[in-house]
Structure 1
Amino acid sequence: MIGLTDIEKRFGDNLVLKGVTVSIDEGSVTALVGPSGGGKSTLLRCINLLEIPTSGILRIGDETLAFRPGGKVPAADVQRVRLQTGMVFQNFQLFPHRTAIENVMEGLITVLKWSETRARERAMALLEKVGMAHKADAWPATLSGGQQQRVAIARALAPSPRVLLCDEPTSALDPELAQEVVDVLGQLAREGTTMVMATHDLRLASKIAQEVVFLDAGSIVEKGPASVVFDNPERERTKRFIASLRQEEAQREGGREGSGTISS
């Protein structure tokens, strides 16, 4: 489904990804975890060519692209890859001058040249799927963060991509609103949507991911089934990182419980 072979990415002299090789099966959910600056978001952006790898090989479905330093990727090749991916960003990135349904319709009309009627039908069906049909005509500024992210997920799904890429989809949300997004992504996972997500949210990753890739300093430290990596990691670096995530999660839970005991 998705194959990355020896992917390197440089920004000037800074080597951000160091020979990353990973395979992602169709219908699976893979979580990219690791410390900030470890390369998770850059790897996601290399998959849909928002960032062009410096070297290596990318395969999505029937499309295979090889990269080399100084080489130029034809725009038509980039477009073919992007049409197979949907991207959900950390900060929603909705068009503020478009309603919820218009945000979902936009790519279908402008990129795929669908009729407005067909695009509206598709958009409404997706808003229904993510629990946002009742807000179809709402402006993004009137929606909560969780609602905006659910609209963003519908927009990413609109062209029926082969894979949904999620870059920290819950990190800009408080825990209650984040749960809305976790629930939607969990439902998509149960329906067999192929997903790759970069996340620090242990609840999200452990709930819906089958595979986990732990990235640190641009290299894969450990990868394997989520139950193994989260509950019985092999590498000491992975153990420390998972322990830190669990500690942060416990502190957030404790803070919420503590705030709930304060009387008015």
Structure 2
Amino acid sequence: MIELSHIVKTFGDHTVLNGISVTIREGSVTALVGPSGGGKSTLLRCINLLEIPTSGRVRIGAEAIDFRPQVRVPFAEVQKLRRQTGMVFQNFQLFPHRTALGNVIEPLVTVLKWPHAKAVARAEELLDKVGMAHKRDAWPAELSGGQQQRVAIARALAPSPRVLLCDEPTSALDPELAGEVIEVLVGLAREGTTMVIATHDLRLAAGIAHEAVFLEAGEVVEKGEARRIFSAPERERTQRFIATLTQEARQHQTPDAAR
């Protein structure tokens, strides 16, 4: 289970997150939705401590850290919590000088110190899972955006994290390539992978999320069962936002999807 309690994040005088409290069940998928600048990506990065909260508590499983203003948390404690997460970024962030296979084995041999043969076996298993086994020896520059993102998902899964964090995983892709990535994430959700996904993609959010959290101006406007949030939100602000997403999704439908 992941618990975020009263998370505040400030940059100078600007408050980006203002007292966010969210609980994420193990084996569930939670979608973070809301307008740009609402705090989705920052909240996601506070879970794995790429951004250190100004105050509040982050718990992942048995590991928890309390944050207070101007109190530095030891790096060893940060690492203990961070290693329970895997992160998928909007712009892939593959190593350009590593093949698809090399990208996936990198965290295993560099961070976890796995033997090379064991790391290769794990990487090949994951590349097969995301439909990229046939591209194991390809360089990132030789892959489409959707293929790069699928390799990035395999890399994030390599150390068997407790939770997979995805920051706008389809926003840099056209609808067809986004569909490839959504298919992979749907498969992971069916297997019970715990995921938190910040996204504007209604197909992705409505298709796999169990819970949804609508954020605006660093605060939770509405949260609850994803099906209810996306079909019958209670707050007027959420209604307007979901209506906008629905309209955008219709505009981006392929001819086959529209028939």
TM bucket (normalised to shorter chain) is over 0.9
Tell me which amino acid in the other structure corresponds to 1:77: E
What is the distance in 2 between the residues matched to 1:33 and 1:71? 31
Name the residue aligned to 1:122. Answer: 122
Rounded to whole Å, the distance in 2 between the matches of 1:203 and 1:247 is 12
Give the aligned partner of residue 262 of structure 1. none
The aligned residue for residue 39 of structure 2 is 39
Query: How far is the alpha carbon of 1:252 from its aligned partner?
Result: 2.1
Question: Runs (4+) of structure 1 moved beyond 3 Å?
Answer: none
- Cα distance in 2 for residues equivalent to 1:70 and 1:248: 42
Post-superposition shift, 1:215?
0.3
Question: In angstroms, what is the RMSD of aligned CA positions?
Answer: 1.2
Counterpart check, 1:153 vs 2:153: yes
Return the letter of the residue paired with 1:208.
I
Q: How far did residue 247 of structure 1 move?
A: 1.1
Deviations 1:156-191 (A, max 9, x none): 000000000000000000000000000000000000
Instruction: Quote the residue 2:79 is aligned against.
Output: 79
Report the Cα distance in structure 2 between the residues aligned to 1:203 and 1:71, rounded to whole angstroms.
41
Matched, 1:109 2:128: no
- Structure 2 length normalisation: TM-score? 0.98
Q: Please show how residues 15-94 of structure 1 align to structure 2 within 5 Å.
A: 15-94=15-94
Please give the alpha-carbon distance, in whole angstroms, between the structure 2 residues aligned to 1:80 and 1:26: 18
Q: In 2, Cα distance between the equivalents of 1:151 and 1:136? A: 9
Does residue 240 of structure 2 align to residue 213 of structure 1? no
Tell me how far 1:251 sits from its aligned partner.
2.0
Paired residue secondary structure (2:4):
strand
Structure 1 counterpart of 2:111, one-letter code:
V
Gaps of 5+ in 2: none
Give identity over the alignment, percent: 73
The corresponding residue for 2:131 is: 131
Q: Give yes or no for the alignment of 1:187 onto 2:210.
A: no
The amino acid across from 1:100 in the alignment is A
Aligned to 1:6: 6
CA offset digits 1:202-259 (Å, max 9, x no partner) = 0000100000000000000000001100001000000000001111112223xx54xx
Q: How far is 1:82 from its partner?
A: 1.1
How many residues in Structure 1 have an aligned counterpart in Structure 2? 257
Task: Tell me how far apart the structure 2 counterparts of residues 126 and 28 of structure 1 sit (CA, whole Å).
Answer: 21
SS of corresponding position for 1:171: coil
AA at the equivalent of 2:39: G
Larger deviation, residues 244-253 vs 148-157 = 244-253
Question: CA–CA distance in 2 between the matches of 1:170 and 1:39?
Answer: 18
**3-state DSSP of counterpart to 2:252:** helix
Q: What secondary structure is seen at the aligned counterpart in 2 of 1:124?
A: helix
What displacement does 1:89 show?
0.1
Deviation at 1:73, TM superposition (A): 1.0
Long gaps (5+) in structure 1? 258-264
**TM-score normalised by structure 1 residue count:** 0.96
**2:162 paired residue number:** 162
Q: Partner of 2:151: helix, strand, or coil? A: helix
Give the aligned partner of residue 97 of structure 1: 97
